[in-house]
Structure 1
Amino acid sequence: MPETAKPFAIVTGASSGIGYELAKLCAQKGYDLLVAADRAAIHDAAKEFRTLGAKVEAVEVDLSNPEGVDKLYAAAKGRPVDALLANAGHGLGHAFLDQDFAEARHVIDTNITGTIYLLQKVGRDMRTKGEGKILITGSIAGFMPGTFQAVYNGTKAFIDSFSFALRAELKDSGVTVTCLMPGATETEFFERAGMEDTQVGQAKKDDPAYVAKVGFDAMMNGEGDVVSGWKNKFTTILANVTPAGMLAEQHRKMAEPGSGKR
């Protein structure tokens, strides 16, 4: 079978969590893969994806800067991308004024700058080809002010909004844009964000395989957005009618350092 006979997907943040499960679904559905993450674990993940019959290229790269995105894009070697699953991102807990600004900026550059740069590069190719599927991992966090998680929630508010705008711009182009908006999910997110002692960090969370399946199916169906889980859907409905100040105080209870010990 010639290489171009199989569809081709790029999945970022694919070494663990939701991104790993998204890449696994792509492999199971017959896609060849280009997967990326900022840790060496991406190479172990790639080995597992290959057992599912996919041809897999793995790139260990920091997607917070243009050079990293260019490296990932170049690794596709000009092969047309049928699906882009832009999932790379991370969070940062604690009060904004107490955070190291370099770390806060890295969250912004990963979640926003690198993401939309990759979207523009691949999206242009898809528009020229007249077909393609894009899945962007946003979050229900984008619906509420993130007390003690202010930068992360702000980046997800941007991504949630951006995805709808991009979808509208690509109307009738043959390219669909879907935004997956999960709630708290059982991944390494809270450990990496330094939020293990918070209420949300210690609470029961959603299964990343379930979340990924919800997002993947929505992408394949060309849906504009999807919130995983009825509880998260209820949260977004309430967020739309609750004053921002009240939402900020509610978020404080979940994300304030030490809140998980009370």
Structure 2
Amino acid sequence: MSETRQLALITGGSSGLGLELAKQFAQNGYDIALSGSSDRIFEAADTIRELGVEAYPHKADASTYDGVESFWNFTKDLGRQIDAAVLNVGIGIGGAFIDNDLEDELKLISINVNGTVHMAKRVVKHMVPNGRGKILIVSSISATQPTPYETVYGPSKAFGFMFAESLREELRETGVTVTALLPGATNTSFHSNAGMDSSEIGSSDKNDKEVVARQGFEALMNDEDHVVGGDEKTKQQVEDNKTTPEPVKAARHAKQAKLQN
């Protein structure tokens, strides 16, 4: 039975938005190959199996070339066509650039930028010869504005957004589609993991992760070039960002993201 279902590859599927996206695919009849950096990935796989499909968990360090490659080889060795890929893995770092460790910021770039390009390369080369496939790249509304006090994170997500838009156009005639998901602040552990609990944005009300995941899944299935994940206020912020001067957006985000003593 499993061999007759479609297969989705999902990076960063242990928890949060990645797990919610995996659930969306599972509820729509996809088997799931999912990766994560901790043993929680095996618990996530059990959650997916409870939805009546098969899950293939793989533990790997997404900040390294070998880690990304190992998940790709693990999925490829299943011997099945990959019908959809969600490039979701990503981390954030809060705090002032002058205070943060360079090693941590380079790790962020390795995961958010290098890892996205690496896995996209493998997925595209697999899908294009098959003449079909769907790729969802998870960016952020941070891609539409400067992000002081998340000074490396925002640009990494801007890269992801423009990478998705560029790749989409290149693949237009191949049968492979690319969609970018730009979530607003979402009720996952993201801001806590980024050390931002004491910031205004860290302690604010957030979008529901199940809603954001559903919006991303539906946009992918409907071949939309991108979708803003969240409520109407979140979507309006992105619209406003199109006409708001960069210094104004930077000052607004600095107030929201600066850690409080």
Task: Report TM bin, short chain.
Answer: over 0.9
Supply the AA of the counterpart residue of 1:36.
Answer: S
**Contact 1:139–1:156 under 8 Å retained in 2:** yes
Cα separation, 2, equivalents of 1:180 and 1:120: 19
Look up the SS of the partner of 2:56 in the other structure. strand
Q: Note the 1:73-222 alignment, pairs <5 A.
A: 73-76=72-75, 77=77, 78-222=79-223
Q: In proportion to residue count, which structure has more helix?
A: 1
- Distance in 2 separating the partners of 1:40 and 1:206: 27
| 2:253 corresponding residue in structure 1 | 251
Residues 9-52 of structure 1 deviation map (CA, whole Å, 9 limit, x = unaligned): 01111111111100011111111111111121111110111111
Q: Secondary structure at the match of 1:209?
A: helix
Once residues 97 and 186 of structure 1 are traced to their aligned partners in structure 2, the CA distance between those partners, rounded to angstroms, is 28
Q: Which amino acid aligns with 1:183?
A: G
For normalisation by structure 1, the TM-score amounts to: 0.96
Q: How does 1:63-82 map to 2 (within 5 A)?
A: 63-76=62-75, 77=77, 78-82=79-83
Q: Is the 8 A contact 1:140 1:183 kept in 2?
A: yes
CA RMSD across the alignment? 1.0
In the alignment, residue 188 of structure 1 is paired with which amino acid? S
- Give the paired residue count: 258
Deviation at 1:4, TM superposition (A): 2.8
Question: TM-score, normalised on structure 2?
Answer: 0.97
Equivalent residues of 1:218, 1:226 under 8 A apart:
yes
SS of 1:34's partner is strand
- Whole-Å separation in 2 of the counterparts to 1:22 and 1:242: 31
Query: In the TM superposition, what is the alpha-carbon distance from 1:80 to its structure 2 partner?
Result: 1.4
Q: Is the 8 A contact 1:18 1:212 kept in 2?
A: yes
Greater displacement, 62-71 / 173-182: 62-71
Instruction: Measure the CA separation in 2 of the matches of 1:209 and 1:39.
Output: 22
Aligned to 1:49: 48
1:12 aligns with 2:11: yes
Please tell me the residue identity of whatever aligns with 1:215.
Answer: G
Which aligned segments of 4 or more residues in structure 1 are displaced greater than 6 angstroms? none
Runs of 5+ in structure 1 lacking a partner? Answer: none
Query: CA deviation digits over 1:112-158, x for unaligned, max 9?
Result: 10111101101111011100000110110011111100100010111
CA distance in structure 2 between the aligned counterparts of 1:4 and 1:46, rounded to whole angstroms: 18
Q: Return the alpha-carbon distance in structure 2 between the equivalents of residues 93 and 144 of structure 1.
A: 16
Match for 1:236 among 222, 235, 238?
Answer: 238
Report Cα offsets for 1:34-89 as digits up to 9, x if no partner.
11111211111101111111111101111122111110011111421100011100
Instruction: Describe the SS at the equivalent of 1:142.
Output: helix
